Amino acid sequence: VRLWRSDCDDPGTVASVATVVALWPSVRGNLDIERVVQDLPASVRVLIGSQPDIPLGSAAGYLQARLFSTILPILLLIYGIGLGAAAIGGAEEDGTLQLVVTAPVSRTRVAAERLGASLLLLVGLAGLGLLTTVLLGLPAGVFDEVSVSRVALATAAVTALAVLHATVAFTAGAVTGRRGTAIAVASSVAVGGYLLHAVAASAEVIRPLRAVSPWWWLLDRNLLVQPPTVLALWLPILLSAILVVVAMLAFDRRDLRFP
């Protein structure tokens, strides 16, 4: 299977995560950071997952702000959207899919295997980020304050967010046969949800609408110290499964485009 790979691959992920974790000892217990954050607008504070009772000078506050609400979600979303868009839309656009579907296998199987390979790569990249966090976090003293299981839980929630957007891209590609359209649709969902989550924190009139933002599902609570919710872990997976069914039906019934 020929899959698109973005620049957000293994070395980039390792370097980004390692930088965040390695800086933890210099931030530990720093009250000045907390004062700076409290002066920021509410829309900015919610985007970094800041909560009044969890200081950024703590491991939970620092990792939430620097890793699990910014660096890791962005890396995984870019990678997942690229993979999802390439699985059907990209292959159809460059003319390689048309030959594949002439083989004596169903279109559903072709699509399922391509999606499975894409999600396996995405989960593997998330696992690499988790491994990097654990290996560098142990000597840095991160796990003096948070447990490895909590870090794994937060990584799983970020991965669920990325899987949702990857399946949005996959579905758009399966429906349209165009990689560019698939990327545009999934990116719009990601950016739109991000902005809605930010604006809703400052605008009381639209605050109830944040419930439809996948970013709010992820950042509503700090999973490094607080219990997870269905919204953070299972709702993205459920929606992803529904999107996959839509993609399979659309791809199985439409005529393929030719480049």
Entry field: residues in the chain:
259
Which residue is associated with the tokens 């690229």?
82
What is the reported pTM? 0.91
Specify the pLDDT at position 244: 97
Q: What is the Cα–Cα distance from 3 to 92, expressed in whole angstroms?
A: 12
Specify the pLDDT at position 133: 96
Specify the pLDDT at position 48: 80
Specify the pLDDT at position 19: 93
Specify the pLDDT at position 9: 62
Specify the pLDDT at position 4: 46
Specify the pLDDT at position 144: 92
CA 247 vs CA 116, 160, 190: distances in Å: 13, 18, 19
Specify the pLDDT at position 7: 44
Specify the pLDDT at position 5: 47
Specify the pLDDT at position 212: 93
**Is-contact 182 169, C-beta < 8 A?**
yes
User: What value, to the nearest 5°, has the Cα angle with vertex 74 and ends 158 and 226?
Assistant: 30
Q: Which residues contact 255 (CB under 8 A, 6 or more apart)?
A: none
Specify the pLDDT at position 204: 82
Mean pLDDT by 10 residues, the chain (259 residues): 49 90 88 74 80 86 92 95 94 86 88 95 96 95 94 97 98 94 97 92 86 93 90 95 96 80
Q: What is the Cα–Cα distance from 133 to 13, expressed in whole angstroms?
A: 11
**Is-contact 227 239, C-beta < 8 A?**
no
**Is-contact 121 3, C-beta < 8 A?**
yes
Q: Which amino acid is at 191?
A: V
Q: What is the Cα–Cα distance from 43 to 120, expressed in whole angstroms?
A: 34
